[in-house]
C-alpha cells in the first residue's frame, strides 16, 4: 500500500512573463514539482526561457490548446490542427511531447476524445480565474479540498498574483500535513495508476 500523500499543482494559460517566474520561485522554495498547461500562442521567442526553466526545474510541460477557444465547436481537422501545432511548439522548446491535455473552459466532447492523443485533465479549482476572488478565499478552497491524489486547477496567467499569494499560505500548510507536490506523471506512477482514455481527471483515483 502506498503511504505517500501527494498532490499535483497544475497551472493553465501561461507562460506569463510576470506571474510565471513568481510561481517558479515559490515552487523552488518548497522543492515542489508542478505541471504547466501551456497555450500554444503564448509559446514565443520571448517566453521560451520560462518554458525551459520550467522543464529544467523538473516540472512537466502539458497542453492547453493553441488559441484557447471552445473546441467543441471545431471540426475534427480543426481540433487536430490546434493540437498538432501546440505540440510542435512545445517540442521545439523542450524536445519532448506534452503528456496531458486540459480542454479550454473544460468544454469537451467525444470528437475531442477521439482526436486528441493525450489523457484529459480537469482538476479541483479555487475560482482563481475570477480576478476579484480574494487570495485568502482561494487558499481556503484549496485547503478544504486537499486530499491524496487531488489535482489542483490553477492559473499562472497575467494579473493572477492572488494565486501566488494563496499558494504562500497553502504550500507550507499542506507540507506540514505531510503532502508532497508532484507532477501529474509522478502522481499516476506513485499510485500505480495508468491514465485512461475518455476520463476527465480531477483525482488520480477516478475510474470514470
Q: What is the pLDDT of residues 85-142, one digit of tens each?
A: 999 999 999 999 999 999 999 999 999 999 999 999 999 999 999 999 999 999 999 9
pLDDT tens for residues 17-37? Answer: 999 999 999 999 999 999 999
Read off φ and ψ for residue 120, nearest 5 degrees.
Answer: -95, 135
pLDDT of residue 2: 63
Helical (H) or strand (E) element with 25: helix 19-29
DSSP state of 183: -
Residues 157-183 pLDDT 10s: 999 999 999 999 999 999 999 999 999
From the list 12, 62, 128, 148, the catalytic residue is 12
Regarding pTM above 0.85, the answer is: yes
Does residue 125 contact residue 156 with C-beta atoms inside 8 Å? no
CATH fold of 5-201 reads TIM Barrel (3.20.20)
Residues in a beta bridge with 124: 152
Distance in angstroms (rounded) separating the CA atoms of residues 58 and 182: 10
Catalytic residue among 59, 63, 155, 156: 155
- Strand-strand pairing, 151-155 and 34-38: unpaired
Q: Which among 153, 157, 145 has a CA at the least distance from the CA of 22?
A: 157
Write down the pLDDT at residue 4: 86
Establish whether 12 is a catalytic residue: yes
User: What's the whole-number mean pLDDT along residues 73-79?
Assistant: 98
Stretch 36-53: mean pLDDT: 97
Omega within 30 of 0 (cis) for the link into 107:
no
Residue with cell 493525450: 118
190-208 pLDDT per residue, tens? 999 999 999 999 999 999 8
Q: How many helices (H) and strands (E) does the chain have?
A: 7, 8
Calculate the alpha carbon distances from 44 to 32, 38, 208 in Å: 26, 11, 36
Beta-strand runs (E) in the chain: 5-14, 34-38, 60-63, 120-121, 124-125, 151-155, 179-181, 200-201
Amino acid at each position: 500500500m502506498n503511504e505517500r500523500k501527494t498532490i499535483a499543482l497544475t497551472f493553465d494559460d501561461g507562460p506569463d512573463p510576470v506571474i510565471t517566474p513568481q510561481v517558479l520561485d515559490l515552487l523552488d522554495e518548497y522543492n515542489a514539482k508542478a505541471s504547466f498547461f501551456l497555450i500554444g500562442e503564448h509559446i514565443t521567442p520571448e517566453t521560451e526561457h520560462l518554458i525551459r526553466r520550467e522543464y529544467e526545474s523538473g516540472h512537466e510541460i502539458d497542453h492547453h490548446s493553441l488559441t484557447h477557444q471552445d473546441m467543441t465547436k471545431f471540426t475534427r481537422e480543426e481540433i487536430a490542427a490546434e493540437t498538432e501545432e501546440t505540440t510542435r511548439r512545445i517540442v521545439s522548446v523542450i524536445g519532448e511531447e506534452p503528456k496531458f491535455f486540459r480542454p479550454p473552459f473544460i468544454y469537451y466532447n467525444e470528437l475531442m476524445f477521439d482526436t486528441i492523443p493525450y489523457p484529459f485533465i480537469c482538476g479541483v479549482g479555487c475560482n482563481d480565474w475570477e480576478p476579484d476572488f480574494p487570495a485568502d478565499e482561494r487558499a481556503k478552497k484549496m485547503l478544504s479540498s486537499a486530499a491524496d491524489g487531488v489535482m489542483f486547477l490553477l492559473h499562472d496567467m497575467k494579473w493572477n498574483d492572488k494565486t501566488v499569494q494563496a499558494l504562500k499560505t497553502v504550500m507550507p500548510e499542506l507540507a506540514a500535513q505531510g503532502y508532497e507536490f508532484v507532477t501529474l506523471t509522478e502522481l499516476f506512477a506513485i499510485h500505480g495508476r495508468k491514465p485512461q482514455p475518455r476520463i476527465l481527471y480531477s483525482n488520480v483515483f477516478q475510474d470514470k
